[in-house]
Chains A and B, each alone.
Chain A
C-alpha cells in the first residue's frame, strides 16, 4: 500500500480516509523535519538561557504565572499528562483515535509547536503499527482543545495508560513494546504541545463528513426510487426552476435526479396524469437536499482547514525566541460547523420520514396497498417501520439542539468561555446513525413499492440499485421479523452499495 507523505498542509478528507480507514502508512516530508528541528532548537535555547516562557518553564492555565525551576521542567511535562487524563465513558472507536494521532502529527509538521522530531515520529510509528490508545469519549469542553482525550493518548506515548494492540486491550507500555516502538520521555513544552489542540473533535468531524458523503448521495438515490414508487413528477426538477434560484446544491440535486431517472418508464407513463402538484416531500427535494449539500460543503471547507491547522498553545516562532500565547485551541469553528451539519443532516431524515408515510398511507400512495402489504389486516406490513423512523427523527430534533451555545467557565474562570465542540461532533455522529437508519427504512419501503409497480419499468440506474438491494433483502410477501431487514438496508447504504449501483450507470453523482 502506498505510503503517504505528510507536510502539515496537504491533508484533506480523501487522504484522511485512506490513512484512517484503508490504513495507508504515513511518513514525514524532509522539509517538515527541518522545520521541527529548527523550532526545537529555539525551545532548547530558551531552557538553556533560563528565559521565562509560558508552557516551557511555567505552570499551566491559572498557574501560568508560577515559574518552574529548571530542574523540574521535565517532571512538569510528566505531571501535566497525568493530571489532565480525566476522561470518562466508553472508549472512542479505533478510527477516531487514529484520526486524532494523524491530526496531532500533522499539526506538528509546520514546526511551531516546539517538540522534538522523536515526538512526531512516535505518532508515525503508532499509526503505522496501529497502536490504539484507550481514550474515553467524554471529558472535553473543547477549549483548551481536547485536553482530556489527548492526555490519554500522551499516556501511551510515554509508556503508561492503556492501549489496544492487535485488537487486545493491554497496558500502554506493553502495547508499545509489542509494536517495537520506543517510549518517549517528554521534554520541556512537549506535554503541553500534545495535550493542547482540537484533534478529538476534528477527527470526529472528519469521520462524520466521510460517512455523510455516502449518506447525502444515497438520500438522492433513495428519494428518486420513492418518486418513482409514488408516481411523482420530475418536472419540479427542471433545471430552469433551479437556475431561477441559483443555490449550488439545489442545482446539483436536480441534476442528480434527472440523471438517475432519465429513462424511467414509470415517470414517463404518468407524465400527463391529472395530478398537478406533488406534496413538498417530493416536490421540494431539490431545495431541501440541496441546502443540505450546501451546508455539507461549507462544513467540509472548515474542517479541512482545521485539519491543516496548528491548534496547540503557545506557539514558538523563530525570530528572537518568541513564544506567543493565543487561543488556537478554542474549538468554536469546529463546534459551529458540527452543530450546523447536524441540523442539516437531521433534515434529510425529517423529509425522508414524510416520504415513508406517503408510501404507506392509502390516501396518498396512489393505489399501492395499505402499508405496502398484501392481505392487510392479517399482515401489518411496513406499518411499524414508520414508527421507528418517527422515533429516530424525534431523537434527532433533540440532538440538533446546538452544543456550541453552551459554555461553562472552567479552571477558576481562566478558561471562562469554552466551545463544547467535542460534544457537538459526538452528537453529530449519533445524528448520522439515525439518519442512515431512516433512509434504510425509506429504501425498504421504496423497493417494496417498486415491486408492486413493476420494477422492470424503473430507470436503468434504479433497476441496478434495486437488483443489488434485492440480493440482500427479499420482497416481503408475508409479515416477518423486520429488524434484520432494517439492519441489512442500513448496511447496504453505509457500505456505499446504493451509490455504487447508481453511479455505475449515471457516472459520479455530485454533492
Chain B
C-alpha cells in the first residue's frame, strides 16, 4: 500500500502502483488540505470573483467571463474539446502512473479540486479501472491536456475504460467496479487535466527500466570482457575514485563483482597491456549514463511531488495565482539526455559484439563465432540486426525538447514536446533490449569456446547459464530470428539480472 501525502513519491513507487497493481490511500492530512482549499474556492465562486479556468474560458479565451449556468456546462465542454488525442491507446501502466501522479498533485491542497474527484482517481487505481487514453496528442504544455482529458471523461461517466482487461464504455466499467461517477463541477475539469502527469509517469517508468537495462549492459560487458581476455586493471576502483564520478565507480565495481572468482580477474589468463576503448572504458561510458539517469531521476521525482497545475490556489493566503507549472521542460530536457544515453551504451555493446565476431580482434575465437567457417556464417548477420537498431536509436536521439511549435493562436507559443521525448525514449529502449540480447548471445557463444581453457567469474557463469536456459549453443547454423527475439524478451524480463544479483549481490551498491 502506497500512502499518498504529496511528497516522497519515487519512481519505484510509481512502478509498484502502475505496473504491479499495488493499492494506494490518501493520507488524512492530504484529505484535510484538499477540503480546506476547496472551501476557499467555493467562497470565491459565491463571491463571483473572476478566476481563470473556473469562471472564465481557457487559453486564448481567458478574457471571456462565464455566467453561473455556463460554469457548469463549461467543465463538460472543456473536457470534450480537450479530448483531442489520436491513435493507439497508451499502455495501462502509463495511465495508472499518470493518475497516481495527479492524485499526488491534488494531495498538496493547491488545486481547488473536490475531494470526490481525487478519491475517484484513488478508486480507479485500487479497483483496476483504467481509462482508455490515446498515446499521441500532447505537446507537453499546458501539460498533457489531451491524454489527461480522456481520464477526465471517465470521471463524467463518459469515454471508455478497461476493467479486468476488457475495454468497455466507462460508465459500465465504473458500475461493475462499484465506483460512483463524481461528475465535474467548477474548476474540477482543469484540476484534473492541467499537468504533465502522463509524460512524467512515462519518464518515471522509463528510468526504472533503463536502470535495470544498464545493469544488464554491465553483465553483458563482463561476459564479453572475459571471452575477449580483457585486461581488468582499468576496472580498479582507485582509478575511478581519483576522477570522482559516482557512476563510473559504481559501474567498475559492478563489473568487478560479476567477474570475481574467475581466472581472468585473478590474473591467471594472459592479456594485453592495453585494450581497445570498447573494452577499457566501460565504467566511464556506462557510468556517465548512470550519472545522467540519476540527474533525470532527481528532476522527475521533483515533478512527481510538485504541484504541476494551473491556476494554483493558496488557502492559507486566500489567494490564487496563474502561472505555468504545467510546462514539461524540466522533465523533457533531462529525459532527452536519458534517452540518448541508452543509445550511447548500445553503441558500446555493438562494438564489443564486433570484437567477438571479428577474428582479427577476438584473441583466438573462431571467426563469427562458428567453427564451420565458410559453410556456416555463425553470428555474422546478428551484427547487422544490432546495427540497424542502433541507427534507429541514433535517429530517435535527436532531442524533442528543442522542437517547440506554437499552439493555440500563439497564446501557448512555446511548448515542451516532453511527450515526444517520453514516447521515443521507450522506442530507444525497445531497440536497446534487442541489441543487448544479441551481445548476450554472442558472449555466451564465445564463452562456450573458452570454457575448457579457463574458469569464469561467478556472475559471468551464472549469466551464461541463464542465457543457455533459453538459447542453445550455435553448433550448426539455424534461423537466428527466433534466438534474437527470445534474447530480446529475456533482457526485457530482467531474469539474467535477478539471477546474477542473487549470486554477486546488488549491482547498484558500491
Question: For residue B359, which residue of chain A has the nearest CB?
Answer: A363
Does the CB pair B410–A413 fall under 8 Å?
Answer: yes
Query: Contact check: which of B360, B398, B410 meets A363 at CB < 8 Å?
Result: B360
Residue in contact with B360 in the complex, picked from A364, A401, A409, A413, CB distance below 8 Å: A364
Q: Which of B342-366 contact A (CB under 8 A)?
A: 358-361
User: Does chain A have a CB within 8 A of B406?
Assistant: yes
Partner pick for A361 among B359, B360, B398, B406, CB 8 A cutoff? B360
Q: Are A409 and B406 in contact (CB under 8 A)?
A: yes
Cα separation A342 to B361 with both chains bound (whole Å): 34
User: Which residue on B lies nearest to A416, using beta carbons?
Assistant: B406
Query: Please, which residues of chain A bring their CB within 8 A of the CB of B358?
Result: 363
In the complex, which residue of chain A has the Cβ closest to the Cβ of B361? Answer: A363
Q: In the complex the two chains form, what is the Cα distance from A361 to B354 in whole Å?
A: 15
Docked CA distance A364–B360 (Å): 9
In the assembled complex, the Cα of A164 lies from the Cα of B398 at a distance in Å of: 41
B406 closest partner in A (C-beta): A409
Q: Mark A387-404, 1 if CB is under 8 A from B, else 0.
A: 000000000000001000
Residues in A with CB closer than 8 Å to B398 are 401
Which residues of the other chain, B, contact A364 by a CB distance below 8 angstroms?
360
| A361–B359 CA distance with the chains assembled, in angstroms | 13
What are the residues of chain B within 8 A of A409 when measuring CB–CB? Answer: 406
Residue numbers in B under 8 Å from A362 (CB-CB): 360
Query: Which chain B residue shows the least CB distance to A361?
Result: B360
A363 — which chain B residues lie within 8 A by C-beta? 358-361
What is the CA–CA distance of A302 and B309 in the complex, to the nearest angstrom? 51
> In the complex, A414 Cα to B22 Cα: how many Å?
54
| CB-contacts of A411-458 with B (<8 A) | 413
Chain A proximity mask over B432-462: 1 for CB below 8 Å, otherwise 0 = 0000000000000000000000000000000
Contact with A along B387-405 (1 / 0, CB 8 A): 0000000000010000000
A362 CA / B358 CA spacing, docked (Å)? 13
| Assembly CA distance A409 to B360 (angstroms) | 54
**What 0/1 readout, one digit per residue, does chain A (342-381) give for beta carbons within 8 Å of chain B?**
0000000000000000000111100000000000000000
Query: Across the interface, which residues of B come within 8 angstroms of A401, CB to CB?
Result: 398
Report how far A401 CA is from B394 CA in the complex, Å: 12
State how many angstroms separate the Cβ of A39 from the closest Cβ of chain B. Answer: 39
Residues of A within 8 Å of B360, CB to CB, are: 361-364
Cβ proximity bits A195-213 to B, threshold 8 Å, 1 near / 0 not: 0000000000000000000
A residues within 8 A CB of B361? 363
| Chain A contact surface mostly | loop
Q: How many A-B contacts if CB must be within 8 Å? A: 10
Q: How far is the CB of B350 from chain A (nearest CB, A)?
A: 16
Complex alpha-carbon distance, A171 and B360, angstroms:
64
Q: In the complex, what's the smallest C-beta–C-beta distance from A280 to chain B, in angstroms? A: 12
CA distance A401 to B402 in the complex (A): 14
- Considering the complex, give the chain A residue whose CB is closest to the CB of B410: A413
Closest to A401 in B: B398
In whole angstroms, what is the CA distance A416 to B227 when docked? 58
Residues of chain B contacted by A413 (CB below 8 angstroms): 410
A363 to B358, CA, bound (A): 10
Q: In the bound complex, what is the Cα–Cα distance between A109 and B410 (angstroms)?
A: 42
A448 CB to nearest B CB, Å: 21
Binary A-proximity of B168-206 (CB < 8 A = 1, otherwise 0): 000000000000000000000000000000000000000
Q: Which of A453-488 contact B (CB under 8 A)?
A: none
Taken together as a complex, chains A and B put the C-alpha atoms of A364 and B359 apart, in Å, by: 11
Which residues of the partner chain B approach A361 to less than 8 Å between Cβ atoms?
A: 360
Give the complex CA separation of A413 and B411 in angstroms.
13
A423, chain B: closest CB distance, angstroms: 15
Nearest A residue to B413 via CB reads A409
When C-beta atoms are compared, the residue in chain B nearest to A409 turns out to be: B406
How many angstroms from the CA of A361 to the CA of B360 in the assembled complex?
10
Chain A residue with Cβ nearest B394 = A397
Which residue on A lies nearest to B402, using beta carbons? A406
Smallest Cβ-Cβ distance to A363: which chain B residue: B360
What's the minimum C-beta distance from B228 to chain A, rounded to whole angstroms?
Answer: 15
How far is A409 from B410 in the complex, measured between Cα atoms in Å?
11
Chain A residues within 8 Å of B359, by CB? 363
The complex places the Cα of A203 from the Cα of B261 at a distance, in Å, of 67
Q: How far is the CB of A408 from chain B (nearest CB, A)?
A: 9
Shortest B458–chain A CB gap in Å is 34
Which residues from A are CB-within-8-Å of B410? 413
Bound complex: CA A409 to CA B414 (Å): 12
Task: Give Cα distance in the complex from A250 to B65, angstroms.
Answer: 68
User: Of all chain B residues, which has the CB nearest A412?
Assistant: B410
Report Cα–Cα, A363/B361, bound state, in Å: 9
Minimum CB–CB distance for B297 against chain A, Å: 28
CA gap between A44 and B3 in the complex, in Å: 81
Closest to B404 in A: A408
Give the docked Cα–Cα distance between A185 and B409 (Å).
42
Give chain A nearest CB distance to B159 CB in angstroms.
Answer: 35
Closest residue of chain A to B409, judged by CB? A413
Min CB–CB distance A101 → chain B (angstroms): 36
CA distance A176 to B483 in the complex (A): 76
Tell me the complex Cα distance, A361–B358, Å.
13
Closest to A397 in B: B394
Docked pose: A341 CA to B360 CA in angstroms: 36
Q: How far is the CB of A364 from chain B (nearest CB, A)?
A: 7
Within the complex, what minimum Cβ distance (angstroms) separates B402 from chain A? 10
A339 smallest CB distance to B (angstroms): 15
- Chain A positions 191-238 with a Cβ under 8 Å from a chain B Cβ: none
Q: Mark B360-396, 1 if CB is under 8 A from A, else 0.
A: 1100000000000000000000000000000000000
Per the bound structure, the CA–CA distance linking A363 and B359 in Å amounts to 9
Query: Nearest chain A CB to B264's CB is how many angstroms away?
Result: 23
A401–B399 Cα distance when bound, in Å, is 13
Per the bound structure, the CA–CA distance linking A302 and B264 in Å amounts to: 62
When C-beta atoms are compared, the residue in chain B nearest to A364 turns out to be B360
Q: In whole angstroms, how far apart are the Cα atoms of A401 and B361 in the complex? A: 33
Nearest Cβ in chain A — how far from B438, in angstroms? 21
Q: How far is the CB of A391 from chain B (nearest CB, A)?
A: 14
Question: In the complex, what's the smallest C-beta–C-beta distance from B271 to chain A, in angstroms?
Answer: 18
A361 to B398, CA, bound (A): 33
A248 to B399, CA, bound (A): 38
CA of A413 to CA of B361, assembled, Å:
58
Q: Enumerate A293-308 residues with CB–CB distance to B below 8 Å.
A: none
Which residue from chain A places its CB closest to the CB of B403 in the assembled complex? Answer: A406
A297 shortest CB reach to chain B, Å: 28
CA distance A401 to B395 in the complex (A): 10
A366 CA to B410 CA in the complex, in Å?
63
A401 CA to B398 CA in the complex, in Å?
10
Closest partner residue, chain A, to B358 (CB atom)? A363
Q: In the complex, what's the smallest C-beta–C-beta distance from B276 to chain A, in angstroms?
A: 12
**Min C-beta distance of B359 to chain A, whole Å:** 8
Please report the C-alpha to C-alpha distance between residue A497 and residue B410 in the assembled complex, in whole angstroms.
Answer: 56
In the docked arrangement, what's the CA distance between A362 and B406, Å? 55
A361 to B361, CA, bound (A): 11
Give the shortest distance, in Å, between B129 (CB) and chain A (any CB).
42
Distance between A197 CB and nearest chain B CB, rounded to angstroms: 28
| Nearest residue, chain B, Cβ from A407 | B405
Complex: A346 Cα to B360 Cα, angstroms: 29
Bound CA–CA A413/B358 (angstroms): 57
- Nearest-Cβ distance from residue B403 to partner chain A, whole angstroms: 9
Cα A184 to Cα B360 with chains together (Å): 71
Across the interface, which residues of A come within 8 angstroms of B406, CB to CB?
Answer: 409
**CB of B404 to closest CB in A, whole Å:** 9
Nearest chain B residue, comparing its CB with the CB of A406: B403
- A364 to B361 CA separation, bound complex (whole angstroms): 11
A363 to B410, CA, bound (A): 60
B351 to chain A, nearest CB (A): 13
Cα A413 to Cα B409 in complex, Å, equals: 10
The 10 listed contacts between A and B (C-beta, < 8 Å) are A361-B360, A362-B360, A363-B358, A363-B359, A363-B360, A363-B361, A364-B360, A401-B398, A409-B406, A413-B410
Q: What would 4 more interface pairs be, CB under 8 Å, given A363-B361, A409-B406? A: A361-B360, A362-B360, A363-B359, A364-B360
Nearest first, the 8 A-B pairs at minimum CB distance are A363-B360, A409-B406, A413-B410, A361-B360, A364-B360, A363-B361, A401-B398, A363-B358
Binding site for A on B (CB under 8 A): 358-361, 398, 406, 410
